[in-house]
Amino acid sequence: MLASRVTIKGIGRLSPRLIATSTDSSAFADSLRMGATRSFSVELTDRAKERILALRKQKNQPNLNLRLAVEGGGCSGFSYKFSTFDGTPEKEDLLLGGDPPIVIDPDSLEFVKGAKIDFTEDLIRRSFEVVNNPQVETKCGCGTSFAPKMNKAR
């Protein structure tokens, strides 16, 4: 399966919780603006891209975007939440480049940097999924909730 790498194209207001490896948020923001996005990239598989483009066509919404958020909850502590919307992202949202783009808030990015987003279909569901996430220590059996790795550099 081929995947297209997408990286941060814009940056909104940074939350202090996003800074896991640096105590200086201005240095972190400057490094992103200067192109240091490799460790903050997320891959979107071809299947996921095709599904988003199909949804745009099906709903007749050419500006429809995929939003990914990480929320507290689930059997492992945190869960992924995917949604679609046709409109302008919030000011603090990050737009992960590519066509189609992915919209994510800075706090959620901390939990998925380096991961892949795929679209899967099986007998019981069709859904977007975060796969191969290097920020995950353990996940539940169905894959919708996870426990993140703890940052030991603090």
Domains and CATH numbers, the chain: 3-148 (2.60.300.12)
CA 139 from centroid of its chain's CA atoms: 17
Q: pLDDT (tens digit, 9 = 90+) per residue, 57-95?
A: 999 999 999 999 999 988 888 999 999 988 888 888 988
Q: pLDDT (tens digit, 9 = 90+) per residue, 93-138?
A: 988 867 888 999 999 999 999 999 999 998 888 999 998 899 998 8
The pLDDT value given to residue 40: 60
Stretch 140-147: mean pLDDT, rounded?
Answer: 79
The pLDDT value given to residue 16: 30
The pLDDT value given to residue 84: 92
Which is more confident, 145 or 69? 69
Report the C-alpha gap between 6 and 104 in whole angstroms. Answer: 12
The pLDDT value given to residue 153: 42
Report the C-alpha gap between 129 and 4 in whole angstroms. Answer: 16
Report the C-alpha gap between 48 and 51 in whole angstroms. Answer: 5
55 pLDDT more than 90: yes
The pLDDT value given to residue 12: 36
**Bridge pairing between strands 64-72 and 102-104:** parallel
**Residue appearing with tokens 């979107």:** 44
